[in-house]
Structure 1
């Protein structure tokens, strides 16, 4: 068919997003169109140091539905046994099942920032009490490279649909960097 395909594993951490998400990207180029395209080995967006996770997390989330409940011992044990990590400077891969099992990690929230709620699980971390919560649908979208306006277009969908959309999506920043790389090569030719 006249196309040559090249692939590379790219982590979204390397493209400015604080989410560890390794994915294989394949680019197929028509041999007659771009003769100098050797492969994706020259692709590099490592100069885009990922941003601070705090730039993506909402500081004032108080809706109880996003917090780990006191009557959820399996989740509390998974956190205590480090099977679910506490988000410090990056998240792990966002999936389509954020609310059911939080493999990307949980966010610690100071007790004083949440109205008193005895239904929420308190955990002691570094000798300090915290509530723990999952990332919100907006945060999931932001961590996939979408912006607030993109979220506004779909915010009336149920949370599970937004998590599914985010989890099935390509990190926008990675795709933008690949496209920039291809355009750069076309200009050099």
Structure 2
């Protein structure tokens, strides 16, 4: 089985600050909640934002989990925001011309329930190798 190296970072999937609508930025109250390490019943290992490697996307990410669970980026003088649905789709391997025809909540769910396109292609290629013993030319 081939090894694949990580060749892209989260920053390559994130829009420029001028392309992001205000609704994706967190209020001060929500920012405090997101950056907290948790409650007595639920603790996260860290509350870092701006990670180089994205955390897995969850179908429930529209609910604004802690920073130790979901992906957040910092823009505009330290303001924190969640990823946009299009950025989530980019992370999953969809092209920018993919049309979002559902609400943001549904788009986040779709991204969280999806498999990364490039990973799926690699799995299918590996299955082809396993089934026939040779590569199928690709």
1:187 Cα offset (Å): 5.6
Q: Is 1:157 the equivalent of 2:115?
A: no
Larger Rg: 1
What root-mean-square deviation, in Å, do the aligned CA atoms of Structure 1 and Structure 2 show? 2.4
CA gap 1:82/1:66 in 2 versus in 1, 3 angstroms: farther
1:26 corresponding residue in structure 2: none
Q: 1:75, 1:187 → 2: CA distance?
A: 49
**Whose helix fraction is larger, Structure 1's or Structure 2's?**
2
Unaligned runs of 5+ in 2: 39-43
Q: 1:92, 1:165 → 2: CA distance?
A: 16
1:110 corresponding residue in structure 2: 76
1:181 corresponding residue in structure 2: 126
Residue deviations 1:44-77 (CA, integer Å, cap 9, x gap):
3x23423122221111343121111013342243
CA gap 1:95/1:53 in 2 versus in 1, 3 angstroms: same
**Whose strand fraction is larger, Structure 1's or Structure 2's?**
1
Where in structure 1 do 4 or more consecutive aligned residues deviate above 6 Å? Answer: none
Return the TM-score normalized by structure 2. 0.75
Unaligned runs of 5+ in 1: 1-42, 112-129
